[in-house]
Amino acid sequence: MPSSDHDRVVQAVMRLPEYQQLVKIRSRVSLSFFMATLIIYSGFILTLAFNPELFARPVNAGLTISIGVLVGACVTVSAVVLVALYVRFSNKKFDPLLETIARKVS
């Protein structure tokens, strides 16, 4: 595709209201997921830095697993859950908009 055709397609896509909606929704969703991830990870790291004794304690008397190991596992699970939620949201919201955009431009 020559550059002028490419530029024309890009301009056509950028003028579509569906594209504007996609950019707006994707930005908002991405920022929300970023903030959730930032809060989870920074909470873990800050607690580890400023209150390491908390993570060294056992979960319950008589158990050998510490609070730190349990919280670390929860942080890992939260990452998997956030990725799964993002993929689900992307499949339900972004993909239909992308299909509409592709159909209108082609």
DSSP assignment of 45-103, as one string? HHHHHH-HHHHHSBSSTT---BHHHHHHHHHHHHHHHHHHHHHHHIIIIIHHHHHHHHH
pLDDT tens column, 21-78: 999 999 999 999 999 999 999 999 999 999 999 999 999 988 899 999 999 999 999 9
Range of the domain at 90: 3-105
**Total of domains in the chain:** 1
Provide the pLDDT confidence category of residue 6 given band limits of 50, 70 and 90.
confident
Q: What is the pLDDT of residue 2?
A: 56
Partners of 58 in the β-ladder: 66
Nearest to 44 by CA among 62, 68, 64, 22: 68
pLDDT at 101 over 90: yes
Distance (Å, rounded) from C-alpha 35 to C-alpha 39?
Answer: 6
> 51, 62 in Cβ contact below 8 A?
no
